[in-house]
Structure 1
Amino acid sequence: MRVVSWNLLTDTATDPPPWAERLPLVVAVLTDLAPHAVGTQEGSVAMLDDLAEALGERWVWVGEGRCGGRDDELTAVLVDTDRLEVRAWRTRWLSPTPEVPASTGWEAAFPRTLTEVHVRDRRDGTAYLLVNTHLDHVSGQARREGARLVAAAAAGRGAVVTGDFNAPADPADAAGPYAVLTATGLVDAVAVHDGDRSAGSFPAFAAPVVGAERIDWVLASPDLEVSAARVVADGVLGAAAARGQHASDHLPVVADVSTR
């Protein structure tokens, strides 16, 4: 199963190219990568509808807005239903009251969410749990406590975690979300397969820099085998960047996972 994590950049941003101009490039990149599931951040309902329609009728998305229902940004997961059957899903809030829509905690700047999706691989019947999130950009405590909720959601076999964690993938940061999540046994796919060769995942429309911070991650439970993973800065994206075109201020992260 190929999984992508990608912060799509909100359509309310005023400085970068508008979503209508970026959408064709996002579609081209995802078509080139050919994932089976995409954990997205910052997408609105309109953006996600546009993307699913452009990718084709086999694609669906699930998730709930961070202010509840279809309101505000989502941590939605897009699923290729030709390959994966969606069995169940739910959105929870990264707060002391995770079942309460729009709830916040720990001095977070905004409500933050995680989306859990239980899928079955139609090819071999394997069950996977996809957990996608977007941690707070201001409060370190909110990132740490949010990571604990993500870790609890991903406990068990067959779990793949995607997200924008707004913190570097730094094992030395004992108080950061990376340490919280990897301490549970979750494996950083890019660290294992691309290591120091990886570009930073948040170039903010500048040229990607090898060794810069990765704040977007794909993590897998230890029962899964990760055969390949990388931050995507080449191919369709690289060619577009050479022309001065960008799909988002973040780069996608891709990983191939399977059962051992």
Structure 2
Amino acid sequence: MTGIRVLSYNVRYANRGDHHDAWHDRRDAVGRLVRFHRPDVAAFQEPLPEQRDDLRERLPGYEFVGRGREAGGEGEGCPIAVRSDRWEVTESDTFWLSETPDKPSTGWDASYPRIATWARVRTVDGDAELLVVNTHFDHVSAHARRESARLLRERVPETAAADEGDSDETPPVVLVGDLNCTPGSEPHRVLVGDESGTREGATTGDTLSLRDAAPAADLRHGPETSLTDFARLIDGRRIDHALVSPEVAVDAFATLTDRDDRGRYPSDHLPILARLSM
């Protein structure tokens, strides 16, 4: 068995209107939080290019992959950071949650372009491999969230099966991110297979099987929500998720409530941490 700790964290984009919760007052706390919990994989949502640079600087033991959602790699991203003393990235890419996923685009009636970044990672000794997918669904459009979930059900199996050479096996999958929806909502049901995941006009079979790591965990820790206003928790808003394929056992799932040295949360989201084994 190979153990892996996967953290997902919406660190909030650098908003000049955040005043005393501006990024320059939070970035050290975000870096310390990640270093303290020392995940094998850290998936971030919302960081702008300068924030991605700050995260790289504060997490020198990690290899980062991913780009921004705008043309030229600008804008918010969904980077994946991999702990380089245990894992290596063998392949990675980004696609857009839209009708034209292979180029920068805004799908359906989303407010902004939305993306998914993926990384195929392998232990440095070559004994285990995993496909990690990090995404951020639209915060306004329910239609865009539903279609994004359906697109992921098509694209992730294709990505997992690609470039496997002569092997018939595909790696286990962990899909994480800010889905801007709670358990039981339509996009969540699509992703975990409780509703048809086939989009109109889809040409590939749906072979993706995922389950929510939170209820599947042997040990669960932390609040039922993942949203904050920097000072307090906002109840009933577990919108940050980790979903895993059947080959992945969920040993523990936590919603982390670490505060910074000011007594505030370092973001308007709480990070989630899944302790997994394959």
Q: Does residue 145 of structure 2 align to residue 143 of structure 1? A: yes
Contact 2:210 2:244 in 1 (8 A): yes
SS at match of 1:217: strand
The alignment status of 1:40 with 2:47, answered yes or no, reads: no
Given that 1:132 and 1:163 are in contact with CA atoms closer than 8 Å, whether structure 2 keeps it comes out as: yes
Structure label with greater radius of gyration: 2
For residues 145 and 15 of structure 1, do their structure 2 counterparts lie closer, same or farther at Cα, with a shift above 3 Å needed?
same
Shift of the 59–109 alpha-carbon distance from structure 1 to 2, 3 Å rule, reads same
Please state whether the residue corresponding to 1:151 is helix, strand or coil: helix
State yes or no: 1:11 paired with 2:2.
Answer: no
Between the aligned partners of 1:105 and 1:206, the Cα distance in structure 2 is 34
Counterpart of 1:200 in structure 2 is: 225
TM-score (norm 2): 0.83
Q: 1:254 maps to what in 2?
A: 273
Further displaced range: 91-100 or 66-75 = 66-75
1:71 corresponding residue in structure 2: 74
- SS for the counterpart of 1:49 is helix
The equivalent residue for 2:187 is: 177
Alignment partner, residue 87 of structure 1: 90
Moved more, 44-53 or 148-157: 148-157
Q: Deviations over 1:113-157 (max 9, x none)?
A: 000111101255211001000000111110011111222333354
Aligned to 2:250: 226
Is 1:44–1:74's contact at 8 Å kept on the other side of the alignment? yes
CA 1:222 to 1:198, structure 2 compared with 1: closer, same or farther past 3 Å?
farther
Partner of 2:33: 29
Give 1:78 deviation, angstroms: 1.1
CA RMSD of aligned residues (A): 1.9
Q: Does 1:159 align with 2:162?
A: no
Task: For residue 13 of structure 1, report the CA deviation from its aligned partner.
Answer: 4.4
Q: Matches of 1:196 and 1:177 in 2, distance apart? A: 24
Match of 2:121 in 1: 119
In the alignment, the residues of structure 1 paired with residue 119 and residue 222 of structure 2 have an alpha-carbon distance, to the nearest angstrom, of 31
Are the counterparts in 2 of residues 169 and 213 from structure 1 also a CA contact under 8 Å?
no
Q: Aligned pair in 2 of structure 1 residues 256, 152: CA closer, same or farther (>3 Å)?
A: farther
Contact 1:64 1:76 in 2 (8 A): yes
Between the two proteins, the alignment pairs up a number of residues equal to 247
Q: Of 43, 50, 54, which aligns to 1:50?
A: 54
1:13 to 1:178, Cα distance in 2 relative to 1, 3 A: farther
Structure 2 gaps, min length 5? 161-170, 194-207
**Is 1:186 aligned with 2:210?**
yes
Q: Over residues 220-255 of structure 1, what are the superposed CA-to-partner deviations in whole Å (9 max), with x where a residue is unaligned?
A: 11111111111111xxx14x38x4322100000000
Shift of 1:81: 1.3
Q: TM-score, normalised by structure 1?
A: 0.89
Q: Which of 217-226 and 147-156 deviates more?
A: 147-156
| 1:187-221 C-alpha deviation (Å, 9 max, x unpaired) | 11112236696331012224236x62210001111
Q: Distance in 1 between matches of 2:116 and 2:66?
A: 9
Structure 2 CA distance for partners of 1:128 and 1:177, relative to 1, 3 Å: same
What secondary structure does 1:128 align onto? strand
CA contact (8 A) 1:162 1:219 kept: yes
